[in-house]
Amino acid sequence: MPLQPRRQFSIPLSHNGTLSLGPRCLVMGVINVTPDSFGDALHITDPSHAIDVALRMEADGADLIDVGGESTRPGADAVLPDEELARVLPVLRGLAGRIKIPISIDTSKPAVARAAIEAGAAIVNDVSGLRYDPALARVVAPTGAALILMHTRGRSKDMYAEAVYKDLIGEVARELGASVAAAEEAGVARERVIVDPGIGFAKQAAHSYGVLARLPELAALVDRPILVGPSRKSFMREAAGGRPAAERDWATAAAVTAAVLGGAHIVRVHAVAEMVQVVRVADSIRSRM
């Protein structure tokens, strides 16, 4: 059966930029400036190292960079805003004027989002979907930044207790819709919102596979561009032979291919050079289906 063309969106960004989504799947590179991120073989704590990695990702074909200062892995401890800012601001300031692709700040904290946008971030990526602090949307609204809203339930230490679904795609779509509505009510224009179904967040492995398998259905229900972040996540552990996160890039390639074929507008990955190739081949296949 022929696939429906990926719907096209033009997402306004702060600092007078625009993100064109739809003609091809974009690749977002992950920069975790944390001592405890699950997905990195080497934890990046030195800002100069993080800046070098970001520039290398751009050279390797990344379309966006996502910088985060707090681990969002299940079970992670919370980080205070001042500590998060101390981790990310030197990186954002160091990239200013040196990187040409848009930068996203991965945070759920209003104070961090505000300072990051002032330092050059054009997108705020909220893994809580405004559930941790709804005031985040009120901070984003006047800046013109785009807003990524991810689906999850509960906090990192109890999210798996919330992973109970009777209608997986319907429930994820409704809860994402509630997040989008909350953003709009706070003044964020709908045209600036991207949604993320939250692979691995408040989902057992079967749920994450189910979301990947049914992305076209989800896309039709949410009516917003979709970001998918399967990179190195634990839902693939068993299928990958029990390998640790840093050794799951082959598994990630399969999940990324499924996301692209399912119509994802953006994939968020750690291994940019490798996944750029995967995305381009998957997009070429998709265009002929």
Mean pLDDT of 73-100: 90
Q: For residue 193, tell me if it sits in a domain.
A: yes
Residues 187-243: pLDDT tens digits? 999 999 999 999 999 999 999 999 999 999 999 999 999 999 999 999 999 999 999
pLDDT, residue 42, reads 47
Angle of helix 249-261 relative to helix 272-286, nearest 10 degrees, comes to 30
Count of structural domains, the chain: 1
What pLDDT score does 164 carry? 94
In the block, tokens 């050279």 appear at: 59
Between CA 122 and CA 170, with CA 265 as vertex, the angle to 5 degrees is 110
Report residue 162's pLDDT band, with 50, 70 and 90 as the boundaries.
confident
Interatomic CA distance for residues 224 and 109, integer angstroms? 23
Please indicate, yes or no, if residue 1 is contained in any of the structural domains.
Answer: no
Within a domain: 164:
yes
State the CATH number of the domain containing residue 92: 3.20.20.20
Give the domain range for residue 147.
10-286
CB atoms inside a 10 Å sphere around CB 31: 27
**Residue 41 pLDDT:** 46
| Residue 220 belongs to some domain of the structure | yes
Domain for residue 119, yes or no?
yes
| Annotation marks residue 166 as catalytic | no
Summarised one tens digit per residue, pLDDT across range 87-104 is: 999 999 999 999 999 999
Q: Taking Cα atoms as reference points, which of 170, 200, 133 lies closest to residue 124?
A: 133
Q: Would residue 109 show up in a list of annotated catalytic residues for this protein?
A: no
2 within domain boundaries: no
The DSSP 8-state label assigned to residue 160 in this structure reads G
- 4: in domain: no
* Listed range (65-79, 145-159, 166-180, 257-271) with the worst mean pLDDT: 65-79
For residue 5, tell me if it sits in a domain.
no
Whole-model pTM: value is 0.95
Catalytic residue chosen out of the listed positions 114, 224, 268, 286: 268
In the chain, % helix, strand, coil (3-state, to 5) comes to 45, 15, 40
Q: One of 6, 233, 248, 286 is an active-site residue; which one? A: 233
Distance separating alpha carbons of residues 258 and 263, to the nearest angstrom = 9
Among candidates 69, 52, 154, which has minimal Cα distance to 104? 69
